[in-house]
């Protein structure tokens, strides 16, 4: 199927996410967006540079996909239906390899070229030596200018054609201004070359591009990690001549059709969205809801891909196409939400777009002025080009990537990974910090915290029964109970019992018949044991499970998810030190949330319970941009982490949450303390970058005005540019001071 045929098949939808190939920078994204809006039938286009994607809506009766493809390709880019995360990752890998090579060449050749330039600036040698050194400096700079900076010039050309003058256009002007001055001087027998400006600018901007590519890679990994939580294959039931005995066939999920019947065995993860047709079981829906307790499902209930079937086989009738499952829609929604540009980067771009026409006009005016006062044409050209070199936005280009690189290093020392500048800027500006409950403010693992025994029973005896009855059970409660029982027997050096009969798993508990008719063991809820006629049951407590032997209660286990020890102090600090509002947003019950709040003894500004990922995202998306940072750890938090202006993943977070977050805390022993340190560092980073941009703006406006009035030599322009960059560097170094 051709590209146009694929696109035309999407016509009735009116809205889709597309992959954009070859995007180099935020200016590229702006150019493509402006081009798409002009295509017949296109109603809106949102280009996401970070995700290399375009969210396009159109009028199905008027859209012209042929024109759309033509115009995008005319700019030098490609467009296609959304690539799978694997293909998108491969594309990013190639882009990263090319960028890394460009940066390596810029560093190696640029270093020697800059050294030659500064030897010429600072030393005095015979003319022949200096001329040869100047020529060598030019030759060393050529690989940087002609190869490493090539994509800047292409992006500048594409954006200027559409009337957009961004950073790339200004960079190209400064680079080639420096090169032309140097070539003109050499052709006139002079040794004044100023190629350090060109090579330094290209090197720093390439570093910034690598940071942006890293953010793009993270967004792709988030979608890829979410897809991995849904199986690639499923077991389809095929009914031939004997309806009572269908055959089973294993096939790819993409080959399933609506109304196919799928068998989901106990312990397997669901691969489809569908209706339960046969069977009763418990599902772990934490991926999609964050709900702590498993959900009981039976015939007629809707179930979703990604859930884990815990207890018994289910037959599920497929109701949704593979690419339209709830888990697929979550992935696409995450893709739409990833931020493409940081706020400070946008500020820098805006400044440059305003400065570009002013500088160009002043350079032309200077040329006319110098000619009018009688200067030779060659001198007038040099003076005009020197203004372009002086105005080259080196400091603007350095301000963000340099500060981000140093701050990221500092954060890593504190056990925190920063993944993109946008998230850090937004974290620094956040007015609200919202928290998931389980695994964020709590440790995220159930533990048996208290054992109540009937008179005459010992803890070791109960532990032996617990290991027998929970053998092979994948339920989260079973894992906590098994861990407790194993630790108890190990500590007392008591061997576990053996029993040939397998346990039976029910919706509210488990049962085991001991060998030699020694009697049944039951472990489960108060209501279940009561319905079985168990005697001597104590009063009901929702956080407890009950154990019986031969229809008599013998023990009660209390299971809780422990509060992080640093949680209370951290939350109080957010309010007192930074004046932040604190929210609790959880898929757990209102009772579970209330128990946590009572234990913390802290009043949250807003509490949201029983919330699905989509509901949490809707709440966040109603807030102003840069308003809310969200802290979570589960796969169900991925959409919310992408929706928030700053997503923060706690230690031990799922791979999906880690991929979706912009900040990842790696040290479990520090947890929220590491987040507090990172918040402080983020605010310092944001403040210093704003200062850097302020210095750069003042420099550019002041120097251009001064040089226009007083005149400028190429050496003075180069020194002024160096001083500007030096001020940014020295200010940024304050980040790594204690």
What pLDDT, in 10s, does the model give residues 54-69? Answer: 878 888 888 888 888 8
Mean pLDDT value across residues 290-301: 74
Whether residue 675 lies inside any domain: the answer is no
Token pair in block for residue 312: 């018994």
Is residue 50 located within the same domain as residue 169?
no
Confidence of residue 340 (pLDDT cuts 50, 70, 90): very low
In a domain, 399, yes or no: yes
69 and 102 together in one domain:
no
Instruction: Look at residue 341 in the predicted model and tell me its pLDDT.
Output: 44
Judge whether 212 and 23 are in contact, CB under 8 Å.
Answer: no
Verify that 111 and 151 share a domain, yes or no: yes
If you average pLDDT over residues 528-543, what whole number do you get?
85
Q: Is residue 179's pLDDT more than 90?
A: no
Domain that residue 487 falls in: 444-563
* Mean per-residue pLDDT, 352-360: 72
pLDDT computed for residue 344 by the predictor: 58
Radius of gyration of the chain (CA): 32
Residue 17 backbone dihedrals phi, psi, to 5 degrees? -100, 130
| Predicted local distance difference test score (pLDDT) of residue 351 | 65
* Res 105 pLDDT > 90: yes
Give the pLDDT of residue 98.
83
Question: Same structural domain for residues 141 and 194?
Answer: yes
Specify the CATH number for the domain of residue 76. Answer: 3.30.70.100
pLDDT of 432 higher than 90:
yes
Q: What are phi and psi of 66, to 5 degrees?
A: -60, -45
Query: What's the average model confidence in pLDDT over 31-53?
Result: 79
Q: Give the pLDDT of residue 280.
A: 86
Higher-confidence position of 549 and 117: 549
CATH number of the domain enclosing 299: 2.70.150.10
User: What is the distance, to the nearest Å, from the Cα of residue 208 to the centroid of all Cα atoms in its chain?
Assistant: 17
Q: Name the band, by pLDDT with cuts 50, 70 and 90, for residue 290.
A: low
Asked whether residue 393 carries a pLDDT value surpassing 80, the answer given is: no
For residue 317, what pLDDT is reported? 92
> Which 8-state DSSP code applies to residue 497?
P
SS (H, E, C) 605-658: CEEECCCCHHHHHHHHHCCCCCCEEEEECCHHHHHHHHHCCEEEECCCCCHHHH
pLDDT score of 454 more than 70: yes
Closest CA to 226 of 651, 652, 657, 612: 657
Q: How many angstroms separate the Cα of 603 from the Cα of each of 428, 595, 598, 599?
A: 23, 12, 9, 11
Structural domain contains residue 674: no
pLDDT grade for 292, boundaries at 50, 70 and 90: low
Rounded distance between C-alpha atoms, residue 183 and residue 138, angstroms: 8
**In the block, which residue shows the tokens 């967004």?**
219
225 pLDDT band, cuts 50/70/90, is low
pLDDT at 679: 92
Domain closes at, from 27, 59, 82? 82
Q: Reply yes or no on whether the pLDDT at 378 is more than 70.
A: no
**Which has more confidence, 709 or 449?**
449
The model's pLDDT over 301-314, given as tens digits with 9 standing for 90+, comes to: 999 888 888 778 89
Q: Report the length, in residues, of the chain.
A: 738
Asked if residue 95 is part of any domain, the answer here is yes
User: Which of the listed residues 324, 355, 373 is the one where a domain comes to its end?
Assistant: 324
Asked whether the predicted pLDDT for residue 85 surpasses 60, the reply is no
- At 293, is the secondary structure helix, strand, or coil? coil
For residue 34, tell me if it sits in a domain: yes
pLDDT beyond 70 at 51:
no
Q: How confident is the model over 477-483, as a mean pLDDT?
A: 86
* Residue 43 within a domain: yes
DSSP 303: E
Mean pLDDT on 207-222: 63
Which has the minimum average pLDDT: 262-276, 596-610, 620-634? 620-634
397 shares its domain with 343: yes
Residue 592 confidence class, pLDDT cut points 50, 70, 90: confident
- Residue-by-residue DSSP string for 573-607: HHHHHH--EEEEE-SS-HHHHHHHHHHHT---SEE
pLDDT score recorded for residue 228: 66
CA dihedral 612, 614, 620, 625 (to 10 degrees): 160
205/664: higher pLDDT: 664
pLDDT at position 547: 94
SS (HEC) of 93-132 = HHHHHHHHHHHHHHHHHHHHHHHHHHHHHHCCCCHHHHHH
Q: Give a yes or no: residue 237 inside a domain.
A: yes
Residue 383 pLDDT more than 90? no
pLDDT for 29 beyond 90? no
pLDDT of residue 339: 42
Q: What is the tens place of the pLDDT at every residue in 398-415?
A: 666 677 777 887 888 788
Residues 6+ apart with CB under 8 A from 99: 206, 209, 210, 213
Assess whether 96 and 172 both reside in one domain: yes
What pLDDT sits at residue 86?
58
Are 69 and 128 part of one and the same domain? Answer: no
Domain count for the chain, please give it.
Answer: 6
User: The CATH number of the domain where 602 resides is what?
Assistant: 3.40.50.1000
For residues 218 and 241, state if they share a domain.
no
pLDDT (0 to 100) of residue 286: 66
**Per-residue pLDDT at 435:** 93
* Cα gap 68→8, rounded to integer Å: 11
pLDDT range class, residue 242, cuts 50, 70, 90: low
Q: Do 152 and 255 share a domain, yes or no?
A: no
Average pLDDT across the chain, whole number: 80
pLDDT surpassing 50 at residue 205: yes
Cα 369 to chain centroid, rounded: 52
Indicate whether 555 belongs to any domain.
Answer: yes
Same domain, 517 and 619: no
- Distance (Å, whole) CA 156 – CA 148: 14
User: Average pLDDT for residues 72-99, to the nearest whole number?
Assistant: 73
Residues 616 and 606 in one domain: yes
Q: Residue 647: CA atoms inside 13 Å, Cβ hemisphere, count? A: 33
719 and 660 together in one domain: no
Give the residue from 54, 82, 110 where a domain finishes. Answer: 82
């Amino acid at each position: 199927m051709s590209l146009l045929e694929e696109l035309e098949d999407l016509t009735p939808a009116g809205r889709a996410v597309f992959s954009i190939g070859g995007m180099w920078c935020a200016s590229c994204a702006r150019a493509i967006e402006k081009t798409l809006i002009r295509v017949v039938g296109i109603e809106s286009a949102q280009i996401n540079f970070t995700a290399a994607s375009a969210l396009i809506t159109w009028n199905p009766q008027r859209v012209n996909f042929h024109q759309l493809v033509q115009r995008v390709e005319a700019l030098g880019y490609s467009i296609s239906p959304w690539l799978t995360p694997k293909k998108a990752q491969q594309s990013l890998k190639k882009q990263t390899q090319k960028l890394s090579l460009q940066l390596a060449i810029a560093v190696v050749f640029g270093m020697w070229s800059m050294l030659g330039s500064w030897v010429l600036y600072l030393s005095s040698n015979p003319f022949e030596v200096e001329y040869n050194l100047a020529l060598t400096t030019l030759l060393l700079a050529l690989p940087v200018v002609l190869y490493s900076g090539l994509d800047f010039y292409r992006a500048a050309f594409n954006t200027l054609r559409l009337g957009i003058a961004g950073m790339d256009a200004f960079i190209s002007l400064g680079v080639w201004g420096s090169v032309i001055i140097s070539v003109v001087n050499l052709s006139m027998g002079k040794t004044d070359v100023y190629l350090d400006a060109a090579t330094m600018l290209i090197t720093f901007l390439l570093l910034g591009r690598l940071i942006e590519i890293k953010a793009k890679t993270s967004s792709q990994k988030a979608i890829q990690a979410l897809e991995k939580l849904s199986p690639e294959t499923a077991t389809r039931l095929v009914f031939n001549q004997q309806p009572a005995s269908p055959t089973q066939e294993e096939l790819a999920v993409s080959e399933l059709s609506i109304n196919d019947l799928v068998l989901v065995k106990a312990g397997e993860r669901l691969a489809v969205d569908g209706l339960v047709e046969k069977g009763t079981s418990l599902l772990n829906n934490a991926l999609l809801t964050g709900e702590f307790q498993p959900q009981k499902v039976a015939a007629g209930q809707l179930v979703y891909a990604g859930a884990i079937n815990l207890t018994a086989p289910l037959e599920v009738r497929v109701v949704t196409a593979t690419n339209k499952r709830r888990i697929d829609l979550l992935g696409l929604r995450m893709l739409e939400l990833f931020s493409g540009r940081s706020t400070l980067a946008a500020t820098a771009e805006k400044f440059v777009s305003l400065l570009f026409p002013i500088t160009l006009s002043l350079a032309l005016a200077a040329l006319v002025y110098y000619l009018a006062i009688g200067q030779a044409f060659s001198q007038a050209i040099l003076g005009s080009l020197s203004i372009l070199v002086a105005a080259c936005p080196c400091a603007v280009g350095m301000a963000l990537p340099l500060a981000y690189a140093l701050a990221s290093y500092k954060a890593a020392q504190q056990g925190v990974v920063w993944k993109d500048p946008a998230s850090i800027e937004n974290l620094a500006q956040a007015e609200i910090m919202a928290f998931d409950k389980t695994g964020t403010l709590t440790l995220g693992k159930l533990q048996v915290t208290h054992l109540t025994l009937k008179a005459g029973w010992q803890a070791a005896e109960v532990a032996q029964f617990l290991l027998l009855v929970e053998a092979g059970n994948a339920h989260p409660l079973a894992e906590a109970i098994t861990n407790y029982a194993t630790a108890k027997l190990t500590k007392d050096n008591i061997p576990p019992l053996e029993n040939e009969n397998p346990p039976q798993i029910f919706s509210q508990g488990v049962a085991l018949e001991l060998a030699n008719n020694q009697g049944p063991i039951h472990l489960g809820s108060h209501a279940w044991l009561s319905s079985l006629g168990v005697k001597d049951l104590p009063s009901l407590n929702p956080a407890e499970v009950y154990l019986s032997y031969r229809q008599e209660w013998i023990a009660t286990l209390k299971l809780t998810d422990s509060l992080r020890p640093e949680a209370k102090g951290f939350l109080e600090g957010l309010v007192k030190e930074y004046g932040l509002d604190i929210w609790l947003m959880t898929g757990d019950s209102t009772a579970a949330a209330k128990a946590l709040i009572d234990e913390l003894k802290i009043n949250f500004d807003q509490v949201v319970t029983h919330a699905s990922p989509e509901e949490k995202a809707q709440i966040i998306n109603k807030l102003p941009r840069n308003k809310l940072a969200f802290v979570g750890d589960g796969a169900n938090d991925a959409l919310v982490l992408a929706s928030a202006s700053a997503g923060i993943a706690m230690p031990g977070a799922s791979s999906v949450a880690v991929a979706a977050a912009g900040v990842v805390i790696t040290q479990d022993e520090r947890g929220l303390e590491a987040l507090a340190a990172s918040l402080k560092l983020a605010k310092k980073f944001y403040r210093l970058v704003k200062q850097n941009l302020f210095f750069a703006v003042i420099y550019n406006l002041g120097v251009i005005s001064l040089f226009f009035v007083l005149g400028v030599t190429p050496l003075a322009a180069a020194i002024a540019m160096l001083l500007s960059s030096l001020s940014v560097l020295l200010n940024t170094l304050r980040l790594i001071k204690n």
